[in-house]
Amino acid sequence: MMQQQTDTLTHTMDTAATQQPAAHHELTPAEVLSWLPRTATPAQMDSAIRANIKPCKITWSQCPDTLHLPGWPAGKSYKKFSLPQYYKESFFAKDSLFHPELRGGRLGVAGTPVPYTIANDDFFVSILLGGFVLIMVAFTQSKGFFMRQVKKFFYTNHSDNTTVIPETSSEIRFQVALMIQTCLMLALSFFFYTRTRIGETFMIETYQVIAIYVAVIMAYFLVKTALSWVVNWTFFGSKENLQIQKSNLFVAATEGVVLFPVVMLQTFFEMPVYFTLFYVGLTIASAKILTLCKQFIIFFSKNSLSFQIILYFCALEIVPLLMLWGGLTIINGYLKINF
C-alpha cells in the first residue's frame, strides 16, 4: 500500500514537471505543493520542495537610496570611516532595550537602601563577641587579682605609704588586652557621636574610620604613659613610679570592661546616643577621679605641698584628654565629605 502511494506521488510529480512551460519561471512552495495529492505527508511535501526549489545567491540592490526628504541630499552610508561618530550611533544605540544580550535594569521601583549599622557588620560583631569572651576569660583566670585590686585600691601601707600588690605575667597580659579593648570601646563611642552629630559621609570606609580612631586612642595612652613615667621618674622615686603605672593600667583595663555593656546596647538595640555619651562621660570622669585619689595616696599623702596635686593631675590627665578630643575632631574634619 505504501509503495503504491509513493509510486503514485512520483508519477504525479513527473507529470507535473513535464507540464511546466518552457520559459524560465521561479517556482514557489505553493505551486510545488499544488502538484501533490491531498494525502501527501509533511515529509513528502518537504522532499518535493527540496527537489524543485534550489537556494540561490542573494544579490542585493545596488541602486542608491532615494528615500529622503525632498530638497535634502541623499543619506550617507554608515560604512564610511570618514563619517563622524554621531552618524553611526543614534541616541538609543546604548540602550539595553536595543541589545537583548545585555542585562537590563532591575524590574520594578528601587527601594530605599538599608542604612549601615554595626549590628549588621559581621566583622565588628565578631570583634564584640571576642571582647565578651576576653572579659569572661580574664575574669575567670584573674578573679582573685581583680578582687584584691578593688579592695586595696584606697589602702595605704603605714610602713612605706604605698600599696603593694604583686602581679603575675598572665595578669599583666590580661590587663594589656583589656586596655586594648578600652581603646576599641572608646573608638566606637566616638563613632556613635560622630554619626549623630556629623553624619556618615566619610571619604573612606567605616572600617578605616574606626581603625584610625583606635590608633589615635592607643597613641594617647602610650604618650600619656611615657609622659607620666618621665615626670614621676624626675620628681619621685622609682618604686612610686612603678606603683602609679600599675594603677593606671588597672584603671584603664577596668574602664573598658565598664564601657562594654553600653556599647553592646547601643550597637544591637540602638539606644539614644545621648544616653550612651552620658554614660561614657561619667565612666571617664570616674576613672579620672580614681586616678586622682591614687596619685594623692602614692605621692602627696605625706607631702606638705599637697596642693600641687592639682597641677600634677591637670598636666598629666586633663590636658592629654583634651588634646585627644581635639585631635579626633580635627581628624573628623579631614575624613568627612564637605559639600
The DSSP secondary-structure symbol of 283 reads: H
pLDDT at 215 over 90: yes
**Residue 26: predicted pLDDT:** 77
H helices of the chain, in order, are: 2-18, 29-35, 42-52, 85-88, 122-141, 143-151, 169-197, 206-235, 238-269, 273-295, 308-313, 319-335
Q: How many domains does the chain have?
A: 1
Task: Give per-residue pLDDT as tens, 277-288.
Answer: 999 999 999 999
Residues 301 and 272: beta-carbon distance below 8 Å: no
Residue 84 lies in a domain: no
Residue 292 lies in a domain: yes
**Residue 24: predicted pLDDT:** 56
Cβ neighbours of residue 277 closer than 8 Å, sequence gap 6 or more? 189, 192, 193
Average pLDDT, the chain: 79
Residue 162 lies in a domain: yes
**Residue 89: predicted pLDDT:** 65
What are the cell numbers at 304? 606638705
Task: Give per-residue pLDDT as tens, 57-109.
Answer: 777 777 766 666 667 766 666 666 676 766 666 666 666 666 666 666 666 67
Residue 81 lies in a domain: no
Residue 32 lies in a domain: no
**Residue 175: predicted pLDDT:** 87
Task: Give per-residue pLDDT as tens, 162-200.
Answer: 445 567 777 888 888 889 999 999 999 999 998 888 777
Amino acid letter, 119: A
Nearest residue to 13 via CA among 36, 31, 40: 36
3-class SS of residue 264: helix
**Residue 106, Cβ neighbours under 10 Å: how many?**
8
pTM of the predicted structure, to 2 decimals: 0.64
**Residue 162: predicted pLDDT:** 44
Amino acid letter, 10: T
Residue 304 lies in a domain: yes
Residue 1 lies in a domain: no
Angstrom CA distances, 300 to 121, 288, 319, stand at 48, 17, 20
Question: Cell 581603625 identifies what position?
Answer: 211
Distance, in Å, from the CA atom of 8 to the CA atom of 187, rounded to the nearest integer, reads 97
Range of the domain at 324: 118-335
Residue 58 lies in a domain: no
**Residue 302: predicted pLDDT:** 67
**Residue 156: predicted pLDDT:** 55
